[in-house]
């Protein structure tokens, strides 16, 4: 399906918004219910389209990490948004009493969403849930790497929603560039840090506020107090779901040199238990495209050339694996900071291990680098856990787990610095897509008139008294 003129769609959405600036809860609820029904009615079509786009995407992973997360997000929004929409009372400082303060949440207007390919449904629809709940109109640009999914989403949303409610613009980078230059009332971008910079500067020209959900290198620290029976499968699962093509996948591990070999053995064995074969296995997801496959192979070659050792899980035929664009868990040891695998986000099933003798060394390693999107710590020693929490800054954290903090609707999801700006999910999403308007309600009995000019000695005295209360 071809796109209509994006300027005209935006004008149409804004005109429609201006006729109904503060949609009632029933209207928002109906949109959320319709969205939920569209997704439920087309589950199998979404699973098929996403799998075809990937080459193979496990249906279970699509159900778990996309369909069910989105439905849970909608359910949560249906349960709570009416409460979030209410005007809130805010305290008033004593010198202004008996005046009152209130905060009035208002929709921003037209929200633009740009989404990536790795969880195409989740990352297009979850921001939409926040935006619709907050009363906005939505324009979406999904990724060109999932064309079947993107066309399907455009078609099923277009059957139910009018262009001035939700509009999906499909196409390549040229469309994405034109899209990010539109003067939206808010723009949420999910994707790489490099493209995030470009999108932020396009939005800056319009002073469009942006939420940037970016990537980065998310470290894992395993304390000696960790229960390894739980830790190994949790790390292997977090790394191998979607074949490591997850923004919050563990990117690298920090551990003492003496523990690396034993840990590598256990992790490889675990991966082989999860996936008795990688080739032809419907549970194991393919790498999205040839260019991404070549980039991952390039990271391995560069690391090997610079002295890294490599352990590969399974015993699959490498030609078959290449044909299916599948890469097994590959643990990379003897790493050094000059290797590309230690410099760029991996976004695939390669897992480098960095030798780090003490917790202080690990903190130093993390602090010296870009602030990560996620950080993982495994252990039972609460003092060390708190030391790690207090000495690192990351978008989010899971303790004794990987990735699951992302699906907690009551905590914010977002990055910090190069891993992102702003957050969403649950009430945090509602606030991101709302303008929280502060309103001061003056009283008949205001003392303000005592400060009117001409300024006299009496004015100075009153001001002095007031300042005592400030």
Catalytic residues: 213, 247
Which residues partner with 103 through β-bridges?
A: 88, 438
- Dihedral of CA atoms 440, 443, 448, 450 in degrees, nearest 10, equals 180
Q: How far is the CB of 166 from ligand NAD (least distance, A)?
A: 16
Cα separations in angstroms, 427 against 78, 216, 255, 337? 11, 25, 37, 39
Q: 23, 130, 191, 396: which one contacts ligand NAD (CB under 6 A)? A: 191
Site for ligand NAD in 96-135 (CB under 6 A): 114-118, 123
CA distance 217 to 246: 11
User: Does position 177 bind ligand NAD by CB under 6 A?
Assistant: yes
The residue range among 34-42, 55-63, 184-192, 354-362 that interacts with ligand NAD, by the rule CB under 6 A, is: 184-192
Cα separations in angstroms, 217 against 171, 248, 346, 376, 427? 29, 8, 7, 11, 27
Query: Is the CA virtual torsion 263, 269, 272, 274 positive or negative?
Result: negative
Q: How far is the CB of 52 from ligand NAD (least distance, A)?
A: 17
Q: How far is the CB of 119 from ligand NAD (least distance, A)?
A: 6
CA distance 367 to 102: 40
Which residues partner with 274 through β-bridges?
A: none
Q: 65, 134, 187, 195: which one contacts ligand NAD (CB under 6 A)? A: 195
Q: Select 169 or 363, whichever has its Cβ closest to ligand NAD.
A: 169
Q: How far is the CB of 406 from ligand NAD (least distance, A)?
A: 8
One character per residue 143-162, x = contact with ligand NAD (rule: CB under 6 A): xx------------------
Which residues partner with 353 through β-bridges?
A: 253
Q: How far is the CB of 386 from ligand NAD (least distance, A)?
A: 26
Q: Select 71 or 192, whichever has its Cβ closest to ligand NAD.
A: 192
Site for ligand NAD in 360-389 (CB under 6 A): 373
User: Does position 418 bind ligand NAD by CB under 6 A?
Assistant: no
One character per residue 69-88, x = contact with ligand NAD (rule: CB under 6 A): --------------------
Bridge-based pairing of strands 350-355 and 137-141 is unpaired
48-85 exposure pattern, b = at least 16 Cβ within 10 A, e = fewer: bbbbebbbbbbbebbeebbbebbbebbebbbebbeebb
Q: Select 41 or 410, whichever has its Cβ closest to ligand NAD.
A: 410
Q: 102, 160, 198, 462: which one contacts ligand NAD (CB under 6 A)? A: 198
Query: Which string of DSSP letters, residue by residue, matches 130-149?
Result: HHHHTT-EEEEE--TT-HHH
Q: Select 28 or 405, whichever has its Cβ closest to ligand NAD.
A: 405
Q: 109, 215, 372, 396: which one contacts ligand NAD (CB under 6 A)? A: 215
Q: 28, 31, 47, 141: which one contacts ligand NAD (CB under 6 A)? A: 141
Q: How far is the CB of 203 from ligand NAD (least distance, A)?
A: 10
Q: How far is the CB of 165 from ligand NAD (least distance, A)?
A: 21
Q: 53, 251, 345, 409: which one contacts ligand NAD (CB under 6 A)? A: 345
CA distance 231 to 122: 26
CA 443 to chain centre: 44
Helix (H) or strand (E) holding 190: strand 186-190
DSSP-derived secondary structure letter, 67: I
Which residue of the chain is nearest ligand NAD when measured via CB?
215
User: Does position 432 bind ligand NAD by CB under 6 A?
Assistant: no
Which residues partner with 104 through β-bridges?
A: 437
Q: How far is the CB of 288 from ligand NAD (least distance, A)?
A: 8
Q: What number of other Cβ atoms are within 10 A of residue 95's Cβ?
A: 14
One character per residue 228-267, x = contact with ligand NAD (rule: CB under 6 A): -------------------x--------------------
The residue range among 71-79, 208-216, 358-366, 447-455 that interacts with ligand NAD, by the rule CB under 6 A, is: 208-216
Q: 214, 235, 299, 332: which one contacts ligand NAD (CB under 6 A)? A: 214
Strand order across the 88-90 sheet: 88-90, 100-107, 434-441
Q: Quick one: angle between helices 193-205 and 173-180, nearest 10?
A: 40
Bridge-based pairing of strands 88-90 and 100-107 is antiparallel
Residues that bind ligand NAD (rule: CB under 6 A) add up to a total of 28
119-129 exposure pattern, b = at least 16 Cβ within 10 A, e = fewer: bbbbbbbbbbb
Q: Select 300 or 421, whichever has its Cβ closest to ligand NAD.
A: 421
Q: Select 266 or 411, whichever has its Cβ closest to ligand NAD.
A: 411
Q: How far is the CB of 60 from ligand NAD (least distance, A)?
A: 19
Question: Which spans of this chain sit near ligand NAD (rule: CB under 6 A)?
Answer: 114-118, 123, 141, 143-144, 173, 176-177, 180, 190-192, 195, 198-199, 213-215, 247, 345, 347, 373, 415, 420
């Amino acid at each position: 399906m071809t796109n209509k003129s994006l300027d005209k769609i935006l004008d149409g959405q804004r005109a429609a918004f201006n006729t109904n600036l503060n949609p009632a809860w029933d209207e928002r609820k109906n949109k959320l219910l319709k969205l939920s029904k569209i997704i439920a009615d087309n589950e199998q079509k979404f699973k098929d389209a996403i799998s075809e786009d990937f080459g193979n995407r496990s249906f279970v992973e699509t159900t778990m990490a996309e369909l069910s997360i989105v439905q849970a997000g909608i359910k949560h929004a249906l349960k709570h948004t009416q409460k979030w929409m209410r005007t809130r009372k805010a305290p008033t400082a004593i010198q202004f009493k008996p005046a009152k303060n209130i905060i009035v949440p208002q929709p921003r207007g037209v929200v633009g969403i740009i989404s990536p390919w790795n969880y195409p449904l989740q990352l297009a629809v979850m921001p939409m849930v926040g935006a619709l709940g907050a009363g906005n109109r939505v324009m979406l640009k999904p990724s060109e790497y999932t064309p079947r999914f993107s066309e399907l989403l455009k078609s099923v949303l277009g059957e139910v929603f009018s262009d001035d409610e939700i509009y999906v613009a499909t196409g390549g980078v040229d469309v994405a560039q034109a899209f990010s230059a539109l003067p939206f009332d808010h723009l949420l971008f999910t994707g790489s840090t490099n493209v995030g910079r470009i999108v932020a500067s396009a939005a800056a020209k319009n002073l469009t506020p942006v939420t940037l959900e970016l990537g980065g290198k998310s470290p894992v620290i395993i304390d000696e107090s960790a229960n390894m029976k739980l830790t190994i499968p949790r790390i292997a699962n977090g790394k191998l779901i979607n074949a490591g093509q997850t923004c919050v996948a563990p990117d690298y591990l920090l551990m003492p040199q003496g523990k690396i070999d034993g840990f590598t053995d256990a992790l490889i064995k675990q991966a082989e238990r999860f996936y008795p074969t990688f080739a032809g296995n419907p549970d194991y997801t393919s790498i999205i495209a040839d260019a991404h496959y070549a980039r991952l192979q390039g990271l391995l070659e560069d690391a090997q050339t610079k002295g890294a050792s490599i352990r590969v899980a399974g015993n699959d035929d490498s030609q078959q694996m290449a044909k299916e664009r599948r890469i097994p868990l590959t643990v990379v040891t003897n790493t050094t900071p000059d290797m590309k695998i230690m410099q760029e986000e991996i976004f695939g099933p390669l897992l480098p291990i960095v030798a780090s003798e003490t917790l202080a060394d690990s903190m130093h390693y993390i602090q010296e680098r870009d602030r990560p999107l996620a950080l993982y710590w495994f252990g039972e020693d609460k003092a060390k856990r708190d030391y790690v929490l207090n000495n690192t800054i990351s978008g989010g954290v899971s303790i004794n787990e990987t990735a699951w903090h992302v699906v907690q609707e009551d905590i914010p999801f977002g990055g910090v610095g190069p891993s992102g700006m702003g957050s969403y999910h649950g009430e945090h999403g509602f606030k991101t897509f709302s303008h929280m308007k502060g309103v001061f309600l003056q009283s008949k009995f205001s003392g303000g008139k005592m400060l009117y000019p001409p300024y006299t000695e009496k004015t100075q005295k009153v001001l002095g008294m007031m300042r005592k209360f400030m």
